[in-house]
Structure 1
Amino acid sequence: MNQTIFYTTAFYLVPKFLRLKKTKTLIALVAAGLIGITLFESFIDYNYLVNFFSSDNETFTIYFLYNLFVGFIILLVALSYALLKYWMQNEKMKRVLLEEKLSTEMAFLKSKINPHFLFNVLNSFYAKSLKHDVPELADGIARLAELMRYMVYETNEDKVILEKEIHHLKNFIQVYQLRIAEEDDVFINFSVIGDVTTVKISPMLLIPFVENAIKHGIEPNTKSVIDISLEIKENKLYFEVSNTVHGQRNGLEDESSGFGLDNLKKRLSILYPTTHTLETKEENGFFKSFLSLNLD
């Protein structure tokens, strides 16, 4: 019985309910389990052992208090072990996150050169395109500048207003569409349902879906369709992206861009450990990715 208390507490109850941040439920289950197991063990001891090893004046209460004391000690050991293990895992995760953050920041610093210089160059190109009456090019340059500004300045916060993230996605799509030839049969649809002005999301979390759909779902001289839908309902986000399958590799791949499936899963497990669902599947000629998040 003592082994049951130890293993159930240390390897199931504490890891599960601490991860879910349900401390009260954990305490209630541990207390109920201790009392229940103690009653059962005391009943066995009193009815089957008293006749062989104990005197007649030993009551059920004595067995119960003794087993309760032993079980409580075992429970303390199990809790200590589980909490220590949980703390060590959290510390390890913090170190991994810190190392990844430093590595990412260093890579970004190496690649971004001087953002002010790049913005000035883009502003010059924008002015020249307007001067030579090329409004489509001017609009593309303006949106490219917005993309860069968002990535450089807006993503420093842990969370951003969802409306800004959606605007970033639309800019990304429109900048990419400048590369699509007029004769190519390409359709990119983006629908948004719900209030996106009051909820926040971790920045750059949705762009991998769109980037990969565009990369794998568009083929020259072939009809290509990309459908993107985002819905906010009861403070929960539902995001789905589907793209045409062209007989090539599709979906979220783990590539050097850092926007692969493994990287995305890792980010979600850290940022939304118990409040997200990620699914991918190929169906009826389309590759579909689905993400749901609680935005509390």
Structure 2
Amino acid sequence: MFEYTVKKRGPENVAIYFEDQVWTFGQLDAYSNKVANYLAKCGFKRGDILLLFMNSCPAYIGIWLGATKVGVATGLINTNLCKGSLVNCIKTLSARGIVVGSSLKETFETVNEYNDLSLEMIWLVDEKRSLPETAYSTSTSSTCSWNIALAQVPHCAPIPLPRIANLREHLIYVYTSGTTGLPKAAIITKLRYTLLVVGAKYSFGIRQSDIIYDPLPLYHSAGGICGVGQMLLYGNTIVIRSKFSASQFWSDCVKYKCTVSYCYYYYYLFIYLLCFKIFTFFRYLLFLN
């Protein structure tokens, strides 16, 4: 589906704004191809599971998108978890490997040292050095294992998987908040992902010309599915942040000329944002609860 979006929108058009980075559709596609080729090289196959434990950034999207190209589902772990909750999230899916953000290295090493996580492969990814130009590059300035590995594989499209008419194939796993016990992995199938994205688009009248501000964490269904999905399926340009910032919310929207924003827990967030100057350039301000 994303390959069709790239062709429709054009590989040179902007897919993601992130801080000072600008990722085009072509660069995101090339990066995800590298991920797919590397996972295939490591022996990952259709039905396997990869875990992702890192802060929001374009590489986050590229990793799980690349995994889907070789039939691998990705578990998106809440970055606020630690100790027992984190161990539970890692063990519950019986994943073969995990990609850990360098900013969360200490948190992961603490649980990995004292628990048998049964992971075949563990990679460390440098989020700050996962730049758009690395999508086509064969070198990297990072010493992190994931960055080095991706630099050594081609960015060409992986061998296509045999087509199967199974919309209930697992795409990603989104964990519950764990307010009533330990976090549980909610299955997001291809069908469910598509329905959530399509539903959000037509419920709120999102146009392809809209630039979407998505400050939500990408492990959350609102940010990682409803927000990112508009870019993957419909070609909207999105703006993401590593962490939500109320003080930067409105200035970011002005800077990137956003016309739509995704928010959740709308009442509390709206009151919070009222502490800052409100601009009136929005066509829609979407509050999802």
Which TM-score band (shorter chain)? under 0.3
TM-score, normalised via structure 1 length: 0.25
Q: Using CA pairs below 8 Å that are at least 6 residues apart, which structure has the higher relative contact order?
A: 2
Q: Which has the higher helix share?
A: 1
